[in-house]
Structure 1
Amino acid sequence: MALSDHILDVCIVGSGPAGLQAGYFLEKKGLSFTILERGPAVSDFFRTFPRHRQFISVNKVHTGLSNPETRLRHDWNSLLNDDGLLFADWSRKYFPAADDFVAYAEAFAAPMADHIRCNSDVTNVAKTDGIFEVTCADGSVTRARQVIVATGVSQPWDPGIEGFDLVDNYFDFDTAPEIYENKRVLIMGKGNSAFETADSLIEHAASIHVMSPNPVRFAWQTHFVGHLRAVNNNFLDTYQLKSQNAVIDAKVVRIEKADGVYTVTARMSAAADHEIVLTYDHVIACTGFQFDNAIFADDIRPALRHFDKFPAMTPQWESETTQGLFFAGTIMQSRDYRKTMSGFVHGFRHNVKCLAEFVAMRARGSDYPSRITPLDPAGLTTGIIDRISTASGLFLQPGFLADIVLLDGDAPGRSFHDVPVEWAHDAPGISGRTYLAVTLEYGDFGGDSMHVKRQHNVFGDEPDAFIHPVIRQYRDGALVAQMHLADHLDADWRPREDRGGDAGTVLRMTFKDAGEALAPSEVARRQITRFLDQIGLDVPAATAAE
């Protein structure tokens, strides 16, 4: 075993987008680090997945927006950087090819080449006397004060069904469509991988059944992009129009195989005590992935959450039991499971930026970066409106990341941008203070997300359904006041003349309680002004003078 005497600040395990994003920010912080990649090249996972090689992450090239930060709201693939490396330079497709993302990741990784070690299969992570020792299959050992695990969910999830080991799995099944010609196919699961697979077989299989215990959940209804996306739901047409295919709400309880034929016993979800027995030529499990925690020594192995798919972690994405052991990438969704976007590049890239700050704070004993926001009502209102109109982190991590503005104590007006809400409530320097938390959030769409009823009041009783700003005041950890601002189609609450030439669509809207049509910027100004008046904002003299 080759044990290095050199101790790094950080060892990153995994060179996918999260590992590369972490490395980028650690390098900017001046921390020493190495990235260990199991495969022969960076982003090895995306060289295989998704299996049908098309992303469903948005790559909107033409936005009409001039602010690079705001354009990231509609660019779900670029990693955060100051070097102009944008995914749009690799693909102009709205739903790009996976191979284009791999090429982008290779370019992003190139400046960090000296920090990346490929063919380094991590087999053990241990901690001795405050130092982590990361051992690879070749016997090499990397020592570091902190570890960021960015391995993703690398193992197929086993739902515990009798005979599950007999079926093929999305993880490694043969995607050649001719294999399934005139065959009966069962696909287990109702996520995007299941419908991606079903769609690929429509022109070949005799019949396709998509089955799981729960009904299909659509991303346009839940605003969780891990639920079924419209780009993958063509198959539903073939079911509803009775083209030999079906979507079945049933729990598979047993799978048997004899003479090349699968016999599947399932319990119907919508009919109590009703079982159905079906036969298929192929069964493909698209039941998801799980985090592999086998690489950790027993005393630091993290517990698993959410059907044992993700490691347990704190609001700082740190192990609940082992200080200095952090998690990055899709496994960050353990903190906001099926609620916001931490499972996807466009969400976790912002998380990883925060994580790099947390790691640097630990390594250097420094404070979280902050800035001063004017606390006079006019200055504060303008600052809030600018952020809710331009920030990508707030927009893409709704209700999960927030801007925090301190209102009392030393340095009133001190502000923290794009930080986890749950971390802020207990963070040193914030906990126990009076502060504002500014987020963007969705409301309640009711029964039909395509026909949403609206109040159209400046000061209504119910929050708007579409993404809109929310301002909350906390004192000593308790919520004392909040204001939901009005939504609108452009999601830009600045006056038109302050948008840098960006052309919005919404000029005015009518509001019943105002008795007139108002520009979105005027509505936002009135709402924020009333909120600040209601909380009795007391502007310290020193801050007001600034």
Structure 2
Amino acid sequence: MQENFDIIIVGGGPIGIACGLEAKKQGLTYLIIEKGPIVNSLFNYPINMQFFSSSEKLEIDEIPFISKEAKPKRNEALEYYRRIVTSNQLNIHLFEKVHEVKKEADEFLVQTDKSAYKGKHIIVATGFYDLPNKINVPGEDLPKVSHYYKDPHFYASQKLAIVGASNSAIDAALECWRKGAEVTLIIRGPEVGQRVKYWVRPDIINRIKEGSIKAYYNSNIQEIKETEIIVSTPEGELELQNDFVLALTGYMPNFEFLEQMGIELSDDGKKLPNYNPDTMETNIEGLFLAGVICGGMETHKWFIENSRIHAPIIINSIVEKMQLAQKS
């Protein structure tokens, strides 16, 4: 027999958890479904990652986040969000993947790899960390290539090429160089990204200037081979000896999943989903978006600190809908 809920929340990251907390406070029945562990995306961040935001800006539901430094690290965030889930006894199913969300009459049927559920309302808070932006060159599928970076120890004493100029690429370059990797940065633009954390950017620029880390600007990898990479630079094509490639060129939401649910996306390349910013409800009645997924391809526009407000906006909207339905 299928379980029925007032709200089903797809995604157990910080914003999905915030939505669950709000639903619980309002006395609504809810279920959070997360395909991995609690805050799966944060769990998959690099082990030593430090947030750009200070701890109070990562807080949800005004629950204090105490960290050793002003800007917390990954392990502290994992502890914070885990404690929120467990201490509030949130109804969350972990390691369960949603395959389909289909609207039938005035409710939704949610099919996962383990079960099926019905919900009057759906909140999609799935983030954007699951699908890497591919560089689309021959050899990208070789075992030496990864789109995710975890631990610098793995690359010690290796020739490592890192593609990208944003925070993830620059953090990886500095950490791996400090663990003894021979690091080469392949940067498509003319400089290190302007959004790189302000306390990190001078570090990488100085390492490049002194020659500790080699950087090729206005350059692109053309091909990845077993022991070399072919790089197109302003000075011509180069063949560089190489052991590993980290293609840290960003990630995107699962647009196919959104479209399967019937959510309209803009056709201007940004793939912005259609939703009402006053309620966060999409063009599908009863289906809401929360968190970074609202930004489409513009994944830098929404993050934890400015999308925390989505939770009360959505839950208040749902409560109003339910009250109106009861009166009619």
Instruction: Tell me what 1:241 maps to.
Output: 210
Q: Is the 8 A contact 2:18 2:308 kept in 1?
A: yes
The 1:46–1:333 alpha-carbon spacing in structure 2 relative to 1, beyond 3 Å, is: same
User: In percent, how many aligned pairs have the same letter?
Assistant: 19
What is the aligned partner in structure 2 of residue 49 from structure 1? 45
Give the equivalent residue in structure 1 for 2:80.
104
- The separation in 2 between residues aligned to 1:170 and 1:283, in whole angstroms, is 9
Are 1:86 and 2:64 counterparts?
yes
2:156 is the counterpart of 1:175: no
Q: Residues 92-171 of structure 1: matches in 2 within 5 Å?
A: 92-113=68-89, 115-138=91-114, 140-153=115-128, 154-166=130-142, 168-171=145-148
Contact 1:10/1:145, CA 8 A, preserved across alignment: yes
Give TM-score, length-normalised by structure 2: 0.85
Q: What does residue range 372-451 of structure 1 map to in structure 2 within 5 Å? A: none
Offset, 1:79: 1.0
Q: Which residue of 2 aligns with 1:503?
A: none
Distance in 2 (CA, whole Å) between partners of 1:284 and 1:200 is 13
Give 2:32's aligned residue.
Answer: 35
Matching of residue 206 in structure 1 with residue 186 in structure 2: no
Q: Displacement, 1:35?
A: 0.8
- Give the secondary-structure state (helix, strand or coil) at the position aligned to 1:31: coil
Q: Which residue among 6, 10, 17 is the counterpart of 1:9?
A: 6
Is the 2:23–2:30 Cα contact (8 Å) retained in structure 1? yes
Structure 1 residue 157, shift from structure 2 partner: 2.0
- 2:246, 2:304 → 1: CA distance? 27
* Distance (Å, rounded) in 1 between the aligned partners of 2:125 and 2:261: 20
Map Cα deviations across residues 486-510 of structure 1 (whole Å, 9 max, x no partner): xxxxxxxxxxxxxxxxxxxxxxxxx
User: What is the deviation of 1:193?
Assistant: 0.3
Q: How much is the aligned-residue C-alpha RMSD, in angstroms?
A: 2.9
How far, CA to CA, are the matches of 1:50 and 1:327 in structure 2?
Answer: 27
**Distance in 2 between the 1:30 and 1:18 partners?**
19
> Residue in 2 aligned with 1:265?
231
Supply the distance in 2 between the matched residues of 1:147 and 1:125 (Cα, whole angstroms).
Answer: 9
Deviation at 1:347, TM superposition (A): 1.1
Tell me if structure 2 keeps the 8 A contact 1:262–1:282. Answer: no
Does structure 2 conserve the Cα–Cα contact (< 8 Å) formed by 1:163 and 1:254? no
- C-alpha displacement at 1:11, in angstroms? 0.6
Q: Once the 2 structures are TM-superposed, how far is the Cα of residue 301 of structure 1 from its aligned partner?
A: 5.4
Q: Per-residue deviation at 1:345?
A: 1.4
Match for 1:289 among 236, 251, 260?
A: 251
Q: Encode CA deviations 1:126-156: one digit per residue, 9 max, x unaligned.
A: 1122321111101x11111221111111222
TM-score computed with the length of structure 1 as normaliser: 0.53
Structure 1 residues not aligned, in runs of 5+: 60-74, 219-226, 269-273, 367-546
What is the identity, as a one-letter code, of the residue corresponding to 1:29?
Answer: Q
1:255-296, Cα deviation, whole Å (9 max, x unpaired)? 131xx313223254xxxxx64323133211101111124446
Task: Indicate the structure (1 or 2) with the bigger Cα radius of gyration.
Answer: 1
**What secondary structure is seen at the aligned counterpart in 1 of 2:172?**
helix
Change (3 A) 1:152 1:235: same
- The alpha-carbon distance between structure 1 residues 264 and 307, as it changes in their structure 2 partners (threshold 3 A), is farther
Question: 1:25 offset after TM fit, Å?
Answer: 1.6
What do the CA deviations read for 1:170-222 (whole angstroms, capped 9, x no partner)? 42x563435331x332211111000110011122123422422353332xxxx
Match of 1:254 in 2: 222
Q: Does 1:278 align with 2:239?
A: yes
Contact 2:253 2:296 in 1 (8 A): no
Higher relative CO (CA 8 A, sep ≥ 6), structure 1 or 2?
A: 2
Matched, 1:365 2:324: yes
Equivalent in the alignment of 1:313: 274
Structure 2 CA distance for partners of 1:163 and 1:147, relative to 1, 3 Å: same
Give 1:404's aligned residue.
none
Alpha-carbon separation, structure 2, partners of 1:213 and 1:163: 22
Aligned residue runs from structure 1 range 460-471, under 5 A: none
CA pair 335-195 structure 1, distance change in 2 beyond 3 A: closer
User: Is the Cα–Cα contact under 8 Å of residues 11 and 36 in structure 1 kept in the other structure?
Assistant: yes
Cα gap change, 1:43/1:134 in structure 2, threshold over 3 Å: closer, same or farther?
same
Partner-residue secondary structure (3-state), 1:250: coil
2-structure distance, mates of 1:363, 1:267 = 59
Partner residue of 2:200 out of 218, 232, 243: 232
On the 8 A contact 2:282/2:289 being kept in 1, the answer is no
How far is the alpha carbon of 1:28 from its aligned partner? 2.3
1:114–1:86: structure 2 CA closer, same or farther, 3 Å change rule? closer
| Contact 1:305–1:334 (Cα < 8 Å) also in 2 | no
Q: C-alpha offsets along residues 472-492 of structure 1, whole Å, 9 cap, x if unaligned? A: xxxxxxxxxxxxxxxxxxxxx
Amino acid at match of 1:266: S
Does the CA-based 8 Å contact 1:135-1:142 persist in structure 2? Answer: yes
Instruction: Indicate if the aligned counterparts of 2:264 and 2:283 stay in contact, CA closer than 8 A.
Output: yes
CA contact (8 A) 2:221 2:229 kept: no
Matching residue's letter, 1:255: E
Amino acid at match of 2:100: N
Could you tell me how far apart the structure 2 residues matched to 1:116 and 1:242 are? 49
Would the aligned equivalents of 1:126 and 1:296 in 2 still touch at CA under 8 Å? no
- 5+ residue gaps, structure 2, are none
| 4+ residue segments displaced more than 6 Å | none
CA distance, structure 2, for counterparts of residue 319 and residue 350 of structure 1? 14
